[in-house]
Amino acid sequence: MPQSNLSICAVRRPGHFLSWLLLIVSATLPISGEAVCTGQVSVQVLGSGGPIANPRRASSGYLIWVDGKARLLVDAGGGTFARFGSAGASIADLEAIALTHLHVDHAVELPAYLKSAWFGDRQQALPLIGPSGNLEFPGLTEFMQQLIGPGQGAFRYLSGYLSGTKGYFKTTLYETDADNRKAVKVLETKHLVVSAVGVVHGPVPALAYLVEVDGRRIAFSGDQNGDNPQFGKMIADADLLVMDHAVGENADKVAAKLHARPTEIAQLAEQANVRRLLLSHIMPRSESVLEESLAQIGKTYGGKPTVAEDLMCVELPLRKP
């Protein structure tokens, strides 16, 4: 087994010692080579950080693995493209890419993934899910036009990915209304059912996702402050919630409009009866108060949260009825 592969099978309410041991072990693992994620259904962290450069934490990105193949990429932040390579994932296997929002730390490397696919043998269309826009942010369709659209796109030499011509496979765009505070089913593929709901991330159009895979329910908060109660309803009884933990309890008002505080994370996870909580999007301001935040979360949430590390793999065994 490669050194950087780490499988976590801790269930809800594991021993405190185990959680911290995993944290310590994972923090010391080298981030290089190939780290294949095994198990029938697993989630792998490609990037556990935020927008600040960090040698141990790429920006936001996650994979869902099904039977040894990476089927869904959630977010494409800076540094995740290299981690995708380290993970041994293949773009040819992806059934969809889902972007939670169009901040740099979640979307900047999307063209790198597309370019990389040119050298593979994928032919089938690739669904791409993302939010609608507002005055400050383009929606997914405009974003893709500005990135790779013919004529004006920055990387217009890749415009074949929009039209499915010039030997490129087509990216099928699923622009999803980020103002809709009710969950909607966006996409169903061979292995995945993807639902989305608009969440509150300051003024940024943002989506959270629930992915149903072979009897498992996997939730991705994206970046949000926890203000939309429909998110909690959508993810009820989730086997795993990957939650942004970008601020501590002492977050100022501006930061708290963007990200949930530990008390809000704990309430959300407890009320939704989340089986496992994976804290990610770690930034210096949240990492420096991690111990206090974990204690705060432990006051309300009955399980023990795990702190994400890059390339960490969380295996999700099928829940017994």
Q: Shortest distance, CB of residue 269 to Zn ion, whole angstroms? A: 19
Q: Among the candidate windows 102-110, 118-126, 230-238, 254-262, which touches Zn ion by CB under 5 A? A: 102-110
Minimal distance in Å, beta carbon 283 to Zn ion?
A: 9
Closest to Zn ion by CB, 22 vs 255, is 255
Nearest to 25 by CA among 311, 321, 282, 274: 311
Span of 17-25, 89-97, 99-107, 139-147 interacting with Zn ion by CB under 5 A: 99-107
Among 95, 109, 223, 287, binds Zn ion (CB under 5 A): 223
Nearer to Zn ion, 49 or 303 (CB): 49
Residue 109 binds Zn ion, judged by CB under 5 A: no
Q: Which is nearer to Zn ion, 78 or 303 (CB)?
A: 78
CB of 231 to Zn ion, least distance (A): 16
Q: To the nearest whole angstrom, how small is the minimum distance from the Cβ of residue 56 to Zn ion?
A: 17
d(CA 242, CA 220): 5
**Min CB(117)–Zn ion separation in Å:** 25
Biggest CA pair distance of the chain: 57
Q: Quick one: three-class SS letters along the chain?
A: CCCCCEEECCCCCCCHHHHHHHHHHHHCCCCCCCCCCCCCEEEEEEECECCCCCCCCCCCEEEEEECCEEEEEECCCCCHHHHHHHCCCCHHHCCEEECCCCCHHHHCCHHHHHHHHCCCCCCCCEEEEEECCCCCCCCHHHHHHHHHCCCCCCCHHHCHHHHCCCCCCCEEEEEECCCCCCCEEEEECCCCEEEEEEECECECCEEEEEEEECCEEEEECCCCCCCCHHHHHHCCCCCEEEEECCCCCCCCHHHHHHCCCHHHHHHHHHHCCCCCEEEECECHHHHCCHHHHHHHHHHHCCCCCEECCCCEEEECCCCCC
Stretch that binds Zn ion, among 19-27, 163-171, 216-224, 231-239 (CB under 5 A): 216-224
How close are the terminal C-alpha atoms of the chain, in Å? 32
Q: Quick one: 105 or 239, whose CB is closer to Zn ion?
A: 105
> Does 287 contact Zn ion by CB under 5 A?
no
Smaller CB distance to Zn ion: residue 66 or 247?
247
Which of these ranges, 21-29, 209-217, 219-227, 304-312, lies near Zn ion under the rule CB under 5 A? 219-227
Find the shortest distance in angstroms from Cβ 61 to Zn ion.
11
Copy the structure tokens of residue 204.
């940024």
Q: How far is the CB of 49 from Zn ion (least distance, A)?
A: 9
Nearest distance, CB of residue 219 and Zn ion, angstroms: 17
Q: How many residues does the chain have?
A: 321
Per rule CB under 5 A, count of chain residues that contact Zn ion: 2
The residue among 201 and 216 lying less far from Zn ion, judged by its C-beta, is: 201
Closer residue to Zn ion, CB minimum distance, 41 or 98: 98
Query: Does the footprint of Zn ion cover residue 105 (CB under 5 A)?
Result: yes
Identify which range of 104-112, 142-150, 292-300, 313-321 contacts Zn ion by CB under 5 A. Answer: 104-112
Which residues in this chain contact Zn ion in the complex, by CB under 5 A? 105, 223
